[in-house]
Structure 1
Amino acid sequence: MTLPVALSGSDVIGQAKTGTGKTLGFGLPLLERVTVPADVEAGRATPEKLTEAPQALVVVPTRELCQQVTNDLLTAGKVRNVRVLAIYGGRAYEPQVEALKKGVDIVVGTPGRLLDLAGQKKLDLSHVRSLVLDEADEMLDLGFLPDVEKIMKMLPPKRQTMLFSATMPGAVIGLARKYMAQPTHISATSPDDEGATVANITQHVFRAHNMDKPELVSRILQADGRGLAMIFCRTKRTAADIAEQLEKRGFASGAVHGDLGQGAREQALRAFRNGKVDVLVCTDVAARGIDVEGVTHVINYQSPEDEKTYLHRVGRTGRAGAKGIAVTLVDWDDIPRWKLINKALDLPFDEPEETYSTSAHLYEILSIPAGTKGILPRADRTRAGLRAEEVEDLGETGGRGRRSAPAAAAPAVVEERAPRTPRQRRRTRGGASVSADEATAVSQAPADTATAEAPAEPRTPRRRRRTRSAEAVVETVEAPVPAPAAEPEAPKAPRRRTRAAKTAEAVTEAPATAEAEAAPAKAPRRRTRAAAAVDTAEVQVPAPATEADAPKAPRRRTRTAKTAEAVTEAPATAEAEAVTEAPATAEAEAAPAKAPRRRTRAAAAVDTAEVQVPAPATEPDAPKAPRRRTRTAKTAEAVTEAPATAEAAPAKAPRRRTRAAAAQPES
């Protein structure tokens, strides 16, 4: 019905059921209307009509349909030597651009890549005389309608336009009225067909639980007389999951969905056409126009979105007069959607029967042998599988290392990169980086030699933390640089000193005697701050007896300093002299037991400093006291500078008794 109208050059809207031959309905008129060199030789056309630019354009919604239409046109135009080129995404640009430069008669492509190449001035559409929109309703559903309109604006105004689809929604009719001139609407139906579906297809609809569907599908695939089968899913994740589960159960399965690369999608379709895979799990990208001979079963694993999708899915079987079986599994959640589809197509499956993998009616209706389980027996695993089909290198856009040429040069690249970043170059020696040659020599040298030649690290040791105790300060300062015994000068004190360190330094710089070394063992356990300062100054740090004059006291004096000064200036007696010189008698040894046990932090620091860091007896001069002095340091310094004579012994308390003087009679 289409051929005479299309060959005359009129615009055509062709509507027919799936599997009735729409591809050749518009393909043969295109092949006949293009001008090839054979027409010039036969005298049917003038040489001026020959051109290297495309003369016909076919726009399809999916890549798989683009490839199939291209193959059909190449087969039909082989006698006339018509050049047909497929342009779609997922492939490299370079081969398509080179083919366009050599010359093409018919271009079949998807809207995205066509617009891309046309925008780059690589595709010339100014000589197109025929335009075909295949599966126009699907392009509308996928959102390609704006792109299709852009492509139509690039074409010459005088052209032939043909639309072909199994369904014609209102938007497609509106597009036809806008861009077509007096189109002829042709609807092809068979006399024995009483509905939208083909009569050769036997349809079954079951209500199945989602968790039982994999087992149910595995048993349906083992039905008698089952050839190739296609399983349709609504989502890409479900399609990948079902394909993997079927492969584990022993079936030769492949997957086609949008998450796969173009090479993997074409690999699965080729394996399915060649018989290496007998189960193809796919989404709706393979529901349009895919024509594979020998498909006997179509299973809708999930309910389709609408009636048009259902028609296209079911139409993959029962093509060109063959018979097929379509099984639809409807979950409980999809019952409302299925009722709308059933009403729109006028099907007798308004209430699907509840079915499980062990239901008896399932075995009877689909001719499944009794005792069939969900795992394919090893004796029936005769297919080669998806891995037997090689993946074609398409030079996919966005991929790295997929071409054969870079893959062959990969080892050379690795060999060049190896010496660039050697691991030995990261080694260091004493904080400085070591070159690769030195690092290699050191690594190959014996352990003893490397240890002997390795220089000492100039960095200071990690133990440099100064604590509040005088012991930690002295150890960390003197440990790295020990001074010899005969060295007259002591190391300088650190700039920033703690309270305990300053007190220890003031006491350490005073001259030491035999009586001072023995005094800390007799110190009382509990003493007040003022008493501890007086006792420490009197007993542990006696001033030389030959000193005639004492320096003046500091102008600003604390309460403790005043008390200590008053005590040191009191007249001395024989009793006080005995206390000052601290004779080692029984009375002196027993005296500390009567003192309180509680001591202050400053007194503890002074005692610790006296025991652990005694000053050398031969040291003539002590360094000056620090400018910034603590309360305890000032008290000790004032007491130390006082003359230690027999008359200066602090035995008697002053007339005005203070807290420090109150504690004096006990000692």
Structure 2
Amino acid sequence: MTLPVALAGNDVIGQAKTGTGKTLGFGLPLLQRVVVSADVDAGRASADQLTDSPQALVVVPTRELCQQVTNDLLTAGKVRNVRVAAIYGGRAYEPQVEQLRKGVDVVVGTPGRLLDLAGQKKLNLKQVRALVLDEADEMLDLGFLPDVEKIMGMLPVKRQTMLFSATMPGAVIGLARRYMSQPTHIRASSPDDLGATVANTTQHVFRAHSMDKPELVSRILQAEGRSLAMIFCRTKRTAADVAEQLEKRGFASGAVHGDLGQGAREQALRAFRNGKVDVLVCTDVAARGIDVEGVTHVINYQTPEDEKTYLHRIGRTGRAGAYGTAITLVDWDDIPRWQLINKALDLPFNDPEETYSTSPHLFELLGIPAGTKGVLPRADRTRAGLDAEAVEDLGETGGRGNGASRGRRPAGGPQAAPADERPARTRAPRQRRRTRSGENTAEVAGATAASVTSLAPVAPAAPGVESAVEVSAPDATRPAPRRRRRTRSGSAAAPEATVLTETAPLAAPVEPAETAVAVEPAAEEAVRAPRRRTRKAAEPVEAAAVAVLAPVTPVEPAAEEAVKAPRRRTRKAAEPVLEVPAPATAPEAVVADEAVKTPRRRTRKAAEPAVEVPAPATAPEASSEEPVKAPRRRTRKAAVAEPDAS
């Protein structure tokens, strides 16, 4: 009915049931109207009418349908040598662009990739003389309508427009007339098949529980006479889960849904056509236009959204005069939805019968052998499976390639090379030395150790008086070890030992309580091993070896400065040092005693003032000299004031 109208160049709206040959209804007029080299040779056209730009455009909603329509047109146009190109997403751009550059006569594509290539000036639509919208009700839906309008804006105003679909609501027809010129609406149906569905398809509707559906489907798939089967789900997650469960039960199953890459989708559909997989679990992307021979059962695992989806789903079976079985499993929550579909299609299944995997009427209606379980016997597992079909490398877009294509670098980086290929070192490795204020710590430590000289023997002293310890100088030829010291103040000077000088022997015995005692442990600290690094500030080491002094030996200012340790940074003011009067018999002993004192620790609280004790009248000269102060140490508690001497 459509061939004479379409060949005359008129606009056509074609509507017929699924499986009645709509693809060739618009495909044959397109192949006949394009100008090819065979027409020039036969004298039906002139050479100037030949062009490498597309002369006809077919827009389809899904990638699977695009590939199927392309194969059908290539088969039908093989004699005339018509060049047909499939333009759809999920594949690499380069092969499609190269094919367009060589020249095509008919382009079949999805809206997204067509707009993309047309925007890049790779696809020229100025020579298109015929436009076809396959599955027109889907193409003129709100989701596709903006893209379709953009594509129509790129086409010439004078053209032929044809719309074909199994379902054509009145609103879609009214919308389509805006883009058409006096269209002819052709609706084809058989006299004995006046219903919306195909009479050759037997329909069953069961009310099933969602937890029992996997077991129920497994037993339906073992029905007598079952060949290929398609299972439709509403969501992508459900489709993937059902395919996995069926595979565990022994069925050769594959999945087609939007979360899979284009290569995996084509692999599953190709394995289904070749018979390696006999169960295809898919979403509604495979509900329109897919034509596979030998599909005997269609199972609606979940209730479809509307009556149009239901018609397209069950239309995958009972095609071209063949017989098929359609089974719909309705959950309790989907009863209202199903009743709307049942009323729109005028079906006798308003209240589906409650059915479980063990229900006797299920086995009787579908011809399932008695005693069938939910696992396929090993003797019946004769299909090769999905893994037997190779995955074609399509150069998929969207980051589905290997790790390098997504920007990940291999371990070691791009500049990493094997150890045997690296060049050998041409210079000695850098020797790092830690210094303080620009001075090498090793040299400072060596100079400090060399400053300790040996002491002359001291004359025998009175009982109770200890003699000075003889300290040997280190070997000057041996280099000092490298020492690392960390300070908070940043000062680079290492603690220097006090230079000891020879002293004269005592003229007379002195009482032990009134004599300055030589401190040997402090002298040993000067030659000890280097200090370790700590987190807190290191305390200065006073290597003050004080020899036995003469009765009257004044304290030199230079020696007094040498005895002093560097002051530390404190958070609060330092406490005043308690002044202790020196005895009358040995005023210089007080000075020596103060020099040997350890530094006070740092405290967090304010220090209490120390009590000043007046000096005795017998030693007036002791108060004239200022006592030698030592740095305080850090403590966490406040220092306790010393008791009043008075």
Query: How does the TM-score come out when normalised to structure 2?
Result: 0.72
Check the 8 A contact 1:318/1:324 in 2, yes or no: yes
Q: Could you say if the C-alpha distance between residues 110 and 497 of structure 1 is closer, same or farther in structure 2, counting changes exceeding 3 Å?
A: closer
Asked if the contact 2:252/2:277 (under 8 Å) is kept, the reply is: yes
How far does residue 544 in structure 1 lie from its aligned partner after superposition? 2.9
Cα distance per residue 1:412-452 (max 9 Å; x no partner): 997754469x9xx9x999799xxxxxxxxxxxxxxxxxxxx
Report the CA distance between 1:366 and its aligned residue.
0.7
Cα distance change of structure 1 residues 494 and 161 upon mapping to structure 2, 3 Å threshold: same
For residues 483 and 20 of structure 2, what CA distance do their matches in structure 1 show?
Answer: 89
Q: Distance in 2 between matches of 1:419 and 1:480?
A: 50
Q: 1:496 aligns with which of 541, 566, 570?
A: 570
Quote how far apart the aligned CAs of 1:389 are. 1.2
In terms of mean alpha carbon deviation, does 141-150 or 225-234 score higher? 141-150
1:484 matched to which residue of 2?
543
* Aligned residue pairs, count: 510
Distance (whole Å) between structure 1 residues aligned to residue 93 and residue 405 of structure 2: 17
Q: Secondary structure at the match of 1:161?
A: strand
SS of the residue 2:610 aligns to: helix
Corresponding residue SS for 2:203: strand
With over 3 angstroms needed to count, the CA separation of the structure-2 counterparts of 1:478 and 1:148, relative to structure 1, is closer
Aligned-pair CA distance for 1:238: 0.8
> Take 1:547 and 1:454, find their aligned partners in 2: how far apart are those partners?
41
Unaligned stretches of 5+ residues in structure 2: 435-478, 491-533, 547-561, 621-642
Q: Does 1:387 align with 2:413?
A: no
Quote how far apart the aligned CAs of 1:379 are.
1.5
Identity rate, percent: 75
Counterpart amino acid of 1:22?
K
Partners of 2:58 and 2:480 lie apart in 1 by 78
Counterpart pick for 1:643 among 616, 638, 644: 616
The question of whether the paired residues in 2 share the 8 Å contact of 1:135 and 1:164 is answered with: yes
CA distance in 1, matches of 2:599, 2:5: 120
Q: Which residue of 2 aligns with 1:92?
A: 92
The equivalent residue for 2:577 is 506
Give the aligned residue type for 2:22: K
With over 3 angstroms needed to count, the CA separation of the structure-2 counterparts of 1:385 and 1:417, relative to structure 1, is farther
Paired with 1:69 and 1:127, the residues of 2 have a C-alpha distance of 21
Letter in 1 for 2:545: A
SS of structure 2 residue aligned to 1:162: strand
Query: Which has a greater percent of helix?
Result: 1
Structure 1 letter corresponding to 2:321: G
Deviates more, 1:111-120 or 1:83-92: 111-120
Conservation of the 8 A alpha-carbon contact between 1:543 and 1:644: no
Residue identity matched to 1:491: A
Tell me, yes or no, if structure 1 residue 460 matches structure 2 residue 486.
yes
Instruction: Specify the SS of the correspondent of 2:176.
Output: helix
Question: Structure 1: which amino acid aligns with 2:208?
Answer: A
Displacement of 1:630 after TM fit? 9.3
SS of residue paired to 2:212: helix
Q: Distance in 2 between matches of 1:625 and 1:412?
A: 56
2:110 maps to 110
Contact 1:544 1:644 in 2 (8 A): no
2:563–2:595 contact (8 Å) kept in structure 1: no
Q: Is the 1:197–1:311 contact (alpha carbons within 8 Å) kept by the matching residues of 2?
A: yes
TM-score (norm 1): 0.70
8 A Cα contact 1:56 1:105, kept in partner:
yes
The answer for unaligned runs of 5 or more in structure 1 is 433-452, 465-474, 511-540, 549-613, 648-662
Deviation of 1:42 (Å) = 1.2
Alpha-carbon displacement from aligned partner over 1:321-356 (angstroms, at most 9, x marks no partner) = 111000000000000000000001000000000001
Alignment of 1:422-571 (within 5 A): 456=482, 458-460=484-486, 482-486=541-545, 489-496=563-570, 502=574, 506=577, 541-545=580-584
CA shift digits 1:149-200 (9 cap, x unpaired): 2211211122111110011123321233112111111111012213100011
Q: Is the contact between residue 85 and residue 108 of structure 1 (CA under 8 Å) also seen in structure 2?
A: yes
Letter in 1 for 2:583: P
Within a 5 Å distance, the mapping from 1:121-132 to structure 2 comes to 121-132=121-132
**Residue 607 of structure 1: aligned partner:** none
Query: Which secondary structure state, in structure 1, belongs to the residue aligned with residue 609 of structure 2?
Result: helix
CA–CA distance in structure 1, aligned partners of residues 54 and 565 of structure 2: 96
- 1:374, distance to aligned residue in structure 2 (A): 1.1
For the residue of structure 2 that corresponds to 1:178, the secondary structure is helix
| SS of residue matched to 2:151 | helix
Q: For 1:295 and 1:239, how far apart are their aligned partners in 2? A: 18
Confirm or deny: 8 A CA contact 1:35 1:45 kept in the other structure: yes
Q: Report the equivalent of 2:11.
A: 11
CA 34–280 in structure 1, closer or farther in 2 if over 3 Å, else same: same
The structural deviation recorded for 1:87 is: 0.6
1:278 Cα deviation after fit = 0.8
Question: How far did residue 204 of structure 1 move?
Answer: 0.2
Return the offset for 1:296. Answer: 0.5
